[in-house]
Amino acid sequence: MALAPRLDLRQSQSLVMTPQLQQAIKLLALSSLEIEAFIADEVERNPVLETGSSDAAPDVPTEDFAPALDDSRERASDDLLSGDGQGTSDALDVDFSAETFHHDTPSDSVGGADGMLGLSGSAAPSGFDADAPDFDSFAARDINLREHLMAQAGSTLSGRQLFLVQQIIEHIEPTGYVGEDLMATAHRLGVAMAEMEGALSELQRFDPTGVGARNLSECLAIQAREADRYDPCMAKLIDNLDLVAKGAFDQLKRMCRVDDEDLRDMLIELRGYDPKPGCRFESEDMLAVTPDIFITPRGEGWAIELNSANLPRILINRSYVAELGQDKATKAWLSDCMADANWLIKAMDQRQRTIVKVATEIVKQQDGFFRKGVAHLRPLTLRQVADAIDMHESTVSRVTSNKYLHCGRGLFDLKYFFSSGVQSADGEGASAEAVKSHIKSLIDAEGEKILSDDTLVDLLTAKGFDIARRTVAKYREAMGIGSSVQRRRQKKMGR
């Protein structure tokens, strides 16, 4: 067989993921705080970018949803953010199921794994000057449990006893319990067990009352002694907490040698103690959640708009461009900076419009919830929303990640509106959250007659829900509600 050169024509299709397209997809999944950090990085990196003044609000896309909403006027929200100046753009909506790119986890957030940079790159949201003092910096720093105990040990103890108490404090858990076996600590330090017991007794006198306990019984006993209620009857009750949990009150009365009234008073006293005294010193930073979307009634429909306070205004500093030299190298560098700046502005605008489009469809699907409450929440999936707005469900998943919606009923994560459901009499089905709401309302109104799971099934069936007993039990446990036996014991204890 002879070898000879020849030309062949082949036609194929492939998905080309440009860096800008990847970045645009990532922007969809970022929270408002992460967006501010990302913009701060870009402003610091790109000299032609700047953030607008606080009195110049960004152009935030809004949408009015009414029962007869016309979607034909709306521009496609999942267009590709192109920076080449073409009049049309390709779809931003991309299915990554066959790709190696993943954008749904915090580790994939823009800017690497260095964490968030705060709000330094955005304009001040209020009328204060940017150089005004930060009054929050003057607030005292919250101390944690370990620091609180160390301060008490340093002020009341000294010498060898101080050292031993400090060693125990090093192994105090956030709940206030001792995390290391006392005998193991004594062996590690090479001291007698009696000496470690004495150091632990000193620690158990510290605030908060109950700290330094090795188990729940010891924690409650310390608090009972502090309240001067640790008599033989209370000691016997605390030593038999397993019977308290089982509701064996007749057996407890015989063991403690008390009547019904005394046992009830002891149980009320016991419930007033803190089983985890160290938790009040938890100093984890709590970030306030700010809504990304506002839903307000307007006429017969709803007005949907983005929170402009979460969106820094991005501008191009054209005076800086004009002042620079006009040599060839400078022009090429400025051209790249301008292209990046124009892309970022377009990407942010496209992100906002995509969020509004997805939120509008969610409001359409869950109109009953916004008008009548959680009992009218419908089962909804990402695919349903994606099909309605002609996007891929992975895009909808990114848009609804780390985004919050504020309406007249409160603040909700966008993922809250997506849930499975059960069959109902009207054929449309009911959301799991709606079923949970009905179960909770029935249990709250049960009074002296405790409702079993079978009874709850009958009552829900009468309301039009086709639900199994195991599903009722699953939803009840998910809400932290005990079984009928546990609720009956609790009511008996609370009499």
Half-sphere exposure (Cβ direction) of 74: Cα atoms closer than 13 Å: 22
Whether the per-residue pLDDT at 187 is higher than 70: the answer is yes
Q: What distance in Å separates the CA atoms of residue 450 and residue 445, rounded to the nearest whole number?
A: 10
Calpha distance 412→385 (Å, rounded): 18
261 has a pLDDT exceeding 50: yes
State residue 425's pLDDT score.
59
> DSSP string covering 51-84, please?
EPPTTS-----EEEE-TT--GGGSPPTTB----S
Quick one: DSSP state of residue 279? G
Q: Is 155 helix (H, G, I), strand (E, B) or coil?
A: helix
| pLDDT tens per residue across span 339-382 | 888 988 898 888 999 999 999 999 999 998 898 888 788 888 89
Among 374, 425, 404, 305, CA closest to 58:
305
How many beta carbons lie within 10 A of that of residue 105, not counting itself? 9
Q: Residue 380's closest CA among 358, 354, 409?
A: 358
Tokens of 429: 């089905």
- Give the pTM: 0.56
pLDDT the model gives residue 465: 81
Q: What are the phi and psi torsion angles at 228 (to 5°)? A: 60, 40
| Three-class DSSP category at 384 | helix
Q: Tell me the per-residue pLDDT of 120-140, one tens digit each, with 9 for 90 and over.
A: 333 334 443 444 555 555 455
Give the separation between CA 209 and CA 226, rounded to whole angstroms. 7
What pLDDT sits at residue 404? 92
Tokens of 201: 């007794």
Q: CA 405, 465, 377 angle in degrees (round to 5)?
A: 10
Question: Tell me, what's the pLDDT at 286?
Answer: 54
Q: Tell me, what's the pLDDT at 113?
A: 36
Confidence of residue 312 (pLDDT cuts 50, 70, 90): confident
Summarised one tens digit per residue, pLDDT across range 288-311 is: 778 899 999 988 889 998 888 877
pLDDT surpasses 60 at 63: yes
CA pair distance 154, 144, nearest whole angstrom = 16
Could you tell me the two tokens for 181?
A: 């076996």
C-alpha angle 472-477-482 in degrees, rounded to nearest 5: 100
Q: Average the pLDDT over each of 222-236, 397-411, 424-438 and give the range with the smallest value.
A: 424-438
Q: Which pLDDT band holds residue 428 (cuts at 50, 70, 90)?
A: low
Q: Identify the bridge partners of residue 407 per DSSP, sorted by sequence position.
A: 410
pLDDT, greater one: 106 or 443: 443
Query: CA quadruple 377, 382, 383, 384: dihedral positive or negative?
Result: positive
Q: What is the pLDDT of residues 220-241, one digit of tens each?
A: 999 999 988 888 899 999 999 8
Q: Which amino acid is at 310?
A: N
User: Given this model, what pLDDT does residue 295 score?
Assistant: 92
Q: How many Cα neighbours within 13 Å face the side chain of 93?
A: 18
Beta-bridged to residue 298, according to DSSP, are 301
User: What percentage of residues in the chain have a pLDDT greater than 90?
Assistant: 12
- pLDDT classification of 59: cutoffs 50, 70, 90: low
pLDDT digits (tens, 9 = 90+) for 64-115: 666 544 443 333 334 433 344 443 344 455 554 444 444 444 444 434 333 3
Please say if the pLDDT value at position 322 is more than 80. no
Using the predicted structure, report yes or no on whether residue 436 has a pLDDT greater than 50. yes
* Class of residue 329 by CB neighbours under 10 A (exposed 0-12, middle 13-18, buried 19+): exposed
- What was the pLDDT predicted at 142? 66
Average pLDDT, the chain: 78
pLDDT at 357: 92
User: Which tens digits make up the pLDDT trace of 456-479?
Assistant: 888 888 888 888 888 888 888 888
